[in-house]
Structure 1
Amino acid sequence: MREHYKKLDKAEMSIWECCELLNEVVDDSDPDLDEPQIQHLLQTAEAIRKDYPNEDWLHLTALIHDLGKILHLPQFGELPQWAVVGDTFPVGCAFDEKNVHHKYFKKNPDSKNPAYNTKEGVYSKGCGLDNVLMSWGHDDYMYMVAKENGTTLPSPGLFIIRYHSFYRKYLYLLCSKYDLYSKSKVLVDVEKVKPYYQSLIDKYFPAKLKW
């Protein structure tokens, strides 16, 4: 899957154009928000902008962290939601049944392999995320898009994008209160905040990206 999408041959568009595509995506795995995902992006970004007004790279990271959910759209392969959204988790160790979409684990042959069914599996405690193979999903896709298109976001921003859905029951925890707890029925005025976020996109990304 990674090799297929690493070609970045599905589209060429700007970051904001991609944000607008998420008007077409409602994340079925998210019990807290039934609005199009563009609202989640903006609510997350605005919450961080309020608390950390001087960290513009963090505002932009929040804005784009879920853009990989375009994988659910027809022009990007129309992957089923269970393969795109929800928790990401390390493969090669025991699955946790509290993961979103865990029912699909039973169809994975790894679930029947004893070598992969202990807590640490093929890993050792404290080995670090660089040595862990994560499940494919929207996190890894957006990380790949940003990196391959030459973003100048600092490495912490790329780390957040790549691991923000990492399920907290596993050894290596990454949990953002802004991603989880910024959701609200109070919608963000998209056109009002667009100029600010467009200025950050122009600062950290090329005008058009390959997706």
Structure 2
Amino acid sequence: MKRRRPYRLGLTGSIGMGKSTTAAMFAGQGVPVWDADAVVHGLYAPGGAGVAVIGELVPEAIRRGGVDRDTLRAAVAADPGLLPVLEERVHPLVRNDREAFLQQNAEAEILLFDIPLLYETCAETWLDGVAVVTAPVEVQRARVMERPGMSDLTLEHILARQIPDAEKRLRADFVIRTDLGLESARQAVEEVIAEIRGGKRGHLDA
């Protein structure tokens, strides 16, 4: 008898939309969460598998045995051709971590994949569904501007790399608003989980 594998739910949203808080709410409901950003941070930390890769491409970005992400960002900004080379080298490491997560949580009902650039990297092709977090532009901007070192120009550069919020919402299977308070967002998360359990549950293993 074939076994159903976990439902793979992607979570994404533009900067300042409340994605990390929402991911924590899924975790609070017992859903295992794979955080793409956290994986990259681990790869770039001292002893991480990504340090040697970055050291070969951008030696000046290695500081105290780890990757200085500000220096790396500056290098990418100065040489646009560097980004695809970095992605080609680093993505396999990220993919290996994701595969390990899948194996470790093979018995789970639902798995959440927190991926900031989900649509931009075509991750929806291996997911069963996508939830997008959203909030009005003025709320988004106010949240982002509270972050250290953030400026109008920095925000513009970040948004230029991201698919617009409106398009994400159109492509999403689930939309979670984060501007109506934590309890409202938590209820929306519970509704998404209930809907998946009620009819959009995983796939049979091949």
Please confirm whether the aligned pair reaches a TM-score higher than 0.5, indicating the same fold.
Answer: no
- The structure showing larger relative contact order (alpha-carbon pairs under 8 Å, at least 6 residues apart) is 2
Q: Which one has a larger percent strand, Structure 1 or Structure 2? A: 2
Q: TM-score, normalised by structure 1?
A: 0.28
